[in-house]
Structure 1
Amino acid sequence: MAQHNPHHNLGTVLSFEFIRTVTKGRFWIGTLSVPIIIAVVFGLIFLSNTTTDTAADAQKSAQFSISYTDASGLITAADAALFRATPAASPDAGIQAVQSGAVDAFFDYPAQPESTTVRVYGADQGIFENGKYAAVAQALLTHAVNQKIDSPQLSALAAGQVKIETVTYDGTQESGGLGSVIPPMVFLVIFYGLIVLLAGQMLNSTLEEKENRVTEMILTTLKPTTLIAGKVIALFGIGLVQMLVFLSPIVIGRLFFPEELSLTALDLPPLILDPVRMTVGLLILVGGFALFTTTLVAIGAVMPTAKEAGNFMGVMMALIFVPFYAVALVISDPQSVIVQIFTFFPFSAPVTALLRNGFGSLSLPEAGIVIAILFVGAAVMLRVAVRLFQYGSISYTSKVNVRTALRAGPRRPSADKPPTTPGR
């Protein structure tokens, strides 16, 4: 029998799996939908903010006839004249003037506007246009108060226009606050994106050959370990492509819209890149992705059809969302028993550990244990996947008995002997 170069075979599997996936239209539809949706959302938010600011400015400067009463004595004749407002004889008279159409709006300022509601009455001009009445009433009162203060500095303080910077310390070291939380939390977002988009691909990577009845032919020229390892590595490459695509809106936004997407515009604190937490986050991301990939590949090796495998994929997807039911506890009491279980249980560990790493409650010893669990778990599941695929590769109509497959010795279809299905 001809000898086959295992490195050549691995490269063949890698290139085949990678190229087969990235050349499919549905792969790019799913992958590109994420950055497109992000770009559309940011665009709508930016457009909405611009429109809202323009509308608010327009409403404050809107021109319409106004009458008012002022029990507080804050508004002078000069203030009212600036807004072309005229005094009303009484609140009832002001309301009647609006009802009769004599004026467009009537403002009733109480004796203590800081604690009592200011009443605004106006002619109905539609739900969007009616907002101008309250905007002008507020602008008139603010102008009058600023005139009373007669100091730009005190006016700014009274309006709450004060920049406050908070510095916190963890012992003698300055802690980063929100600015140190955001960067490592990016790994959690990437983890969710990769698992949600690639879970089906992971599951089907071994099912396609089984459903097409070609596994016994493939295994006559390839070792099961080479085949499964090639598929897993190819999935890592596909995940890397998707990760780069996910980050593309941020890169493009920073290059072409630096002011709109600046931290100041988003009202965010300066970002602090802690090399330790970023390294831990990256290792947890890679380990968690490897564990879920090998596990889903193993499930695909057990199941005869994609339909039956879909039920197990739902369970796997649920496991990565379970920690969010206790997210408040994860943040406020990371040493509680339930959080510790979520942290070290392999299939909830990636999300829980990434959350804790982002908020700075994951110690280095704990991080080391979690990373070891994930990588060792991925290696074990890779071995299990190989054994299950080797045993159940030709079980086309029934689910493989996992216990029997793991206890059985390695089996490989032969080109000289027709394969038989286990259990028949």
Structure 2
Amino acid sequence: MARHNLGTVVQFEFTRTVKKRRFWIATLAIPVLLAIVFVLVFVSSSSAQNRTEQQKNQSLDFSYTDASQLIDPAVATAMGGRVETSPGTAVERVKEGKLNAYFSFPATITKEPVLVYGTDQGIFKNGTYDAVAKQLVILSAQEKVGSAELTAAVQGNFSTEAQTFKDGQPSGGLETVVPPLLFLVLFYVVIILLANQMLASTLEEKENRVTEMILTTLDPTTLVVGKVISLFLVGAVQALVFSTPMLLGYVFFRGQLAIPDFDLSALQFQFLPMLVGALLFIGGFILFTGVLVGIGAVMPTAKDAASVFAPVMIMMFVPFYVVTLVVSDPGSMIVQVFTYFPFTAPITAILRNAFGSLNGVSAVIVIAELFVFGLLALRVAVHLFRYGSIEYSRKLSLRRAFTKKG
């Protein structure tokens, strides 16, 4: 009978939630906004690309003087330049609009600035003058050096390939870090999208004055556990809807949206870090769900619950204030505290697990802690719901609730 009741609760809560119009409005709002942003970025990128192509096909009309003897006349001519025959009047002609641009290259360009004068074409297009002057020097230097390889070496235009080792084995880079970090993204998406649902899961029946009737046919434990399972299923639906436009954008419009070309096939899904990440995610989800459901059981209305709800959610973001220490100095005192404090443990431990600084013993301790405190929070939430279900007009007294016999 209990199993039947649990399935009924899960089905009822899940169906009731996904049938609400406001649920789909809230769920689809983010994908729709992302789709609009993608379209705007796509249009802007296409326009910018067209403008760039047009600018490439147009040479900049300018004159120049070269005291450094570095400028190659042939390169300058190809870029639209010519030697200035009247340097004394060049700046005045630029001011009057008779000359588009004038560059004055000093005797020693490493010690003196190149003087660039041009007619105003707007704050963004004005940067073209500096860019052309610098490009002219670079191309002329390449011609004088006579070796593209040597020029690239001087400019630092070459790549390196690094390999690091850990415990005698090759250690991965981002390819091994990114997969476990997906649990961090999933944790934030699920908790943020479902936080209000978690809080309202026990408040709704209280505000509708139907809790007593429900508890005459259902055990409080079955009801709360059923609500938690339905919340997890609702979160899976929202996460799927939320991620769909991003996946479509990455697969089909990566070039147009200027998304970095990250080779997903290079990702390394190592079993142990992925297992630890999954357990940390589940444990953290149970803990935060139990706490938020408990808050809903104590408070008479959603307005009253909001004052307690905010600090709980803020604790999810506190670890990001020390994220540099989490990555660079995981042994520091504050990182250790955040690793084992229940409300900051999921985020901190998932970060450390991804970057390889969470050893096996610490991982077991944190996972056990999250599950123990999470199940305890659910148990307390059940108890509070049992005695807070009829407190419609005032907050449940915790002292009275825990002194009553279940």
Mean CA deviation greater in 70-79 or 15-24: 70-79
Partner of 1:154: 150
**Which of the residues 124, 127, 131 maps onto 2:127?**
131
Q: For the residues of structure 2 that align with 1:134 and 1:107, how far apart are their CA atoms? A: 9
- Matched to 2:344, the amino acid is S
- Matched to 2:301, the amino acid is T
Q: For the residues of structure 2 that align with 1:390 and 1:323, how far apart are their CA atoms? A: 34
Q: Structure 1 residues 249, 205: CA separation in 2 closer, same or farther (over 3 Å shift)?
A: same
- Matched to 1:214, the amino acid is V
Partner of 1:417: none
Q: Structure 1 residues 327, 93: CA separation in 2 closer, same or farther (over 3 Å shift)?
A: same
Question: Structure 1: where are the runs of 5+ without partners?
Answer: 411-424
**Which of the residues 7, 12, 32 maps onto 2:3?**
7
Partner of 1:280: 276
Q: Is the 8 A contact 1:179 1:269 kept in 2?
A: no
**Which of the residues 170, 175, 188 maps onto 1:174?**
170
- Structure 1 position 127, deviation (Å): 2.1
Q: Is the 8 A contact 2:254 2:260 kept in 1?
A: no
Q: Is 1:334–2:330 an aligned residue pair?
A: yes
- Structure 1 position 89, deviation (Å): 4.7
Q: Is 1:95–2:91 an aligned residue pair?
A: yes
Q: Is 1:212–2:208 an aligned residue pair?
A: yes
- Structure 1 position 403, deviation (Å): 2.7
**Which of the residues 368, 385, 389 maps onto 1:389?**
385
- Structure 1 position 129, deviation (Å): 2.7
SS at match of 2:82: strand
Q: Is 1:406–2:402 an aligned residue pair?
A: yes
Q: Structure 1 residues 304, 238: CA separation in 2 closer, same or farther (over 3 Å shift)?
A: same
- Structure 1 position 406, deviation (Å): 2.1
Q: Is 1:366–2:396 an aligned residue pair?
A: no
Deviations 1:326-368 (A, max 9, x none): 2222222211222111111111111111111122111121111
Mean CA deviation greater in 267-276 or 108-117: 267-276
- Structure 1 position 33, deviation (Å): 3.0
SS at match of 2:330: coil
- Structure 1 position 126, deviation (Å): 2.0
Q: Is the 8 A contact 1:191 1:289 kept in 2?
A: yes
Partner of 2:374: 378
Mean CA deviation greater in 258-267 or 352-361: 258-267
Q: Structure 1 residues 72, 400: CA separation in 2 closer, same or farther (over 3 Å shift)?
A: same
How much identity, in percent, do the aligned residues show?
A: 51
Q: For the residues of structure 1 that align with 2:242 and 2:232, how far apart are their CA atoms? A: 15
Q: For the residues of structure 2 that align with 1:310 and 1:352, how far apart are their CA atoms? A: 25
Q: Structure 1 residues 33, 47: CA separation in 2 closer, same or farther (over 3 Å shift)?
A: same
Q: Is the 8 A contact 1:60 1:136 kept in 2?
A: no
Q: Is the 8 A contact 2:203 2:302 kept in 1?
A: yes
- Structure 1 position 257, deviation (Å): 3.6
Partner of 1:419: none
Q: For the residues of structure 2 that align with 1:295 and 1:109, how far apart are their CA atoms? A: 69
Partner of 1:105: 101
**Which of the residues 72, 75, 80 maps onto 2:76?**
80
Deviations 1:289-333 (A, max 9, x none): 111111111111111111101111101111111112222222222
SS at match of 2:385: helix
Partner of 1:271: 267
Q: For the residues of structure 2 that align with 1:214 and 1:88, how far apart are their CA atoms? A: 89
Q: Is the 8 A contact 1:384 1:406 kept in 2?
A: no
- Matched to 2:91, the amino acid is I
- Structure 1 position 109, deviation (Å): 1.9
- Matched to 1:72, the amino acid is S
- Structure 1 position 100, deviation (Å): 2.8
Mean CA deviation greater in 130-139 or 205-214: 130-139
CA RMSD of aligned residues (A): 2.5
- Structure 1 position 383, deviation (Å): 1.0
- Structure 1 position 44, deviation (Å): 5.1
Q: For the residues of structure 1 that align with 2:7 and 2:114, how far apart are their CA atoms? A: 75
Partner of 1:68: 64
Q: Is the 8 A contact 1:184 1:278 kept in 2?
A: yes
Deviations 1:207-229 (A, max 9, x none): 11011111001111111111111
* Number of residue pairs the alignment of both structures matches: 406
**Which of the residues 232, 235, 238 maps onto 1:242?**
238
Q: Is the 8 A contact 1:59 1:131 kept in 2?
A: no
- Structure 1 position 112, deviation (Å): 3.3
**Which of the residues 333, 339, 342 maps onto 1:343?**
339
Q: Is the 8 A contact 1:66 1:107 kept in 2?
A: yes
Q: For the residues of structure 2 that align with 1:243 and 1:19, how far apart are their CA atoms? A: 17
- Matched to 2:285, the amino acid is F
Q: Is 1:321–2:352 an aligned residue pair?
A: no
Q: Is the 8 A contact 2:38 2:257 kept in 1?
A: no
Partner of 1:357: 353
Q: Is the 8 A contact 2:9 2:227 kept in 1?
A: yes
SS at match of 1:111: coil
Q: Is 1:197–2:193 an aligned residue pair?
A: yes
Q: For the residues of structure 2 that align with 1:61 and 1:307, how far apart are their CA atoms? A: 62
Q: For the residues of structure 2 that align with 1:278 and 1:262, how far apart are their CA atoms? A: 29
Q: Structure 1 residues 97, 269: CA separation in 2 closer, same or farther (over 3 Å shift)?
A: farther
Q: Is the 8 A contact 2:224 2:382 kept in 1?
A: yes
- Structure 1 position 135, deviation (Å): 2.8
Q: For the residues of structure 1 that align with 2:257 and 2:275, how far apart are their CA atoms? A: 26
Question: Structure 2: where are the runs of 5+ without partners?
Answer: none
Partner of 1:185: 181
- Matched to 2:58, the amino acid is A
Q: For the residues of structure 1 that align with 2:83 and 2:399, how far apart are their CA atoms? A: 89
TM-score when normalising by structure 1 = 0.88
